[in-house]
Structure 1
Amino acid sequence: MAVACGLCAGSNYVNQPLLHSIATHLGVGDGTAALTVTLAQVSYAFGLLLLVPLGDLLERRRLIVSLMVLAACGMLLSGFAQGFALLAVGTLMTGLFSVAAQVLVPMAATLAAPGRSGQAVGLLMSGLLTGILAARSVAGLLSELGGWSLAYRVVAGALLLVALALWSVLPTSRNQAPPRYGQALRSLATLAARHPRLRSRALLGALSFGSTSVLFSTMALLLAGPPHGLGDAAIGLVGLAGVAGALMANVAGRLADRGWGQATTAASVALVLLSWGALWLGHANLAWFIAGMLVIDLALSGVHISNQNVIYQLAPEARSRVNAVYMTSYFTGAAAGSALGSAAWQGGGWAATCAVGAGMALLNAGALLYDRRLARSAVTAAA
């Protein structure tokens, strides 16, 4: 399940180290190529809103495998694209159906033993984050070997193989009294209105991922240009600096099970902001850039796992729908961050990009204060 999460999430990050090569091969500008990052995240957000709630309605094993096969088809379209239009269609299709990962995560929380859901979610999120990091690195290496399209084709094949493995090993799982699809979609708004901490944690996730996505959408453009002048493979390897984020996911899950979720969130929010100082220095110094990327990936993981531990306790009978509300907000923030990052890069270069990323991190600190007030109110009401 962790490997499947990694492949599904990673399929939306294959393009990030390849943006310059895609722009050159398809004859489009860097800004246009960077739009594929935004397209992936927007379509993923729609998949979260429209498809993830099906995890509370349908048999989950069949749903997960079907979504992964369709995501693989989208990767194949991108891998054989000879123009930007077909690449965009393939990107949209992959983003929409790769939400299989977000059906797997609440399924793991459901299957976990009592008191160990945080650990189970952390394990799958470690796989998911490792997949994102590996996607950047492997895509860069494959691009050097056989061109940027080879990365898409290889990931498509891997998705199909793991989908087959999941069909063999996953248990059948579904709600005993599932709601109708229309009821499930309407209940998303009801869940958001009923649970204030779902709203606050969704905002925290959106701003954290939005700030990080400012980096994701522009790092290849910075590293490919002067003074760094890195190729696709080297840019992909730089992405491995964030491997600490994958390790942090499992640690954050264990801390949440022990009651340290709020402290983990606060420390992670502070690190998102601090990372932008190192990233700004990274304009001329690769070591500072790598340090900043390591810190922001680690911090994003800490916020995200702490968020999921909170929201899954709010409505255990509707975990897929709660996850849909949260993750829709999460990737809406990511899409906004990608778009703002691309615009900042075109308008003011790396300095403007860092200013936008740090600005979103400052807003995130305000969201943290709001969530802490809600948490204290809940404790007071319970007492």
Structure 2
Amino acid sequence: MSVPLLDVNAQNRPLEAELKDVFAKVLATGRFILGEEVEAFERECAQYIGAKHAISISSGTDAILVALMALEIGAGDEVLCPSFTFFATAGCISRSGAVPVFCDVREDDFTIDLAAAAKLITPKTKAIMPVHLFGQCCDMDAIRAFADEHKLIVIEDAAQSIGATFKGVQCGNFGEVACFSFFPSKNLGGFGDGGLVTTNNDALAEKILKLRNHGMHPRYYHQMVGGNFRMDALQCALLRVKLRHLDSYAEGRARNAAWYAANLPLPEGCKAPAALENRGHVWNQFTLRIAGEGRRDAFKQHLAERGIGCEIYYPVPLHQQECFADLPASDCPVSEALSREVLSIPVYPELVQAQLDEVALAVAAFAS
């Protein structure tokens, strides 16, 4: 039995009738840009996350970009960010005109290492962008204290972690802004690209609303230069259906992660991920760490030959990407080690027991 890394149809098929009904209703309205569905989705997201404002954006990447624009981060500024994360984190910093300053990450949760970040502070440092990686929040007490000490803006990259909590508070409430993604592989997976920015600052929310629509308010009057960062009304309407099931999706992922933790026969030198104290993990990925030269790649090939979906997130840390070769050298040994050793296996909520057993059998065959 093959087991895919992710099966979006297994999640969407049970909702097919409702999704088609929603599509038909939006089609009948003829209102495809902004409007009631967008506003309703934003209200429901704000309520779910617990933030005062939630603003839908065209993608998770654009959510980061528009947040940087709203905070007036640009040329001459530096932004601290982890090297071990998806490219959009640093790519958007660079696109804003600012400089991404790559920090190493922690061994326990793969999130930004503040001890490393402290050594990189300069008079140009304006913000820090912690990433809640693979579905687990950073230590936001430590990050807020660090930011306050150094007078830094906090931008949460929560693309992978909607619903994740730190000390009972959902991510999206700790920074000046937070950015989410609804890419189909995310816990709240859409039907194309989509994103969200949350903030508890009224003035910042108003500015982001203008920036996402070419800086326009009122119509054809532009107070600032923005962009077309609008999320489609149809996408919002379809995601409203799935948002009602998000907690059950998270429960399914947590159930599968717990089963792995209790039953997966890990090879020697292989370490399973764990939810740390005070963290409500939503398990966007279940990422193993396989030590030993070449063993991760051998393990990946072994699983692939047995039909077990797996993926390397991420094979090259950001400080080693070719497009950043002109930046000062970065000292990120943990990020480099992780890029050689990590491998994510299926954890999506619709996995059935026979599929979990199949994954375990394949892992056991490598271990032996």
TM-score by length of 2: 0.26
* Larger gyration radius, structure 1 or structure 2: 2
TM-score by length of 1: 0.26
**Structure showing the higher helix proportion among its residues:** 1
Larger RCO (CA under 8 A, 6+ residues apart): 1
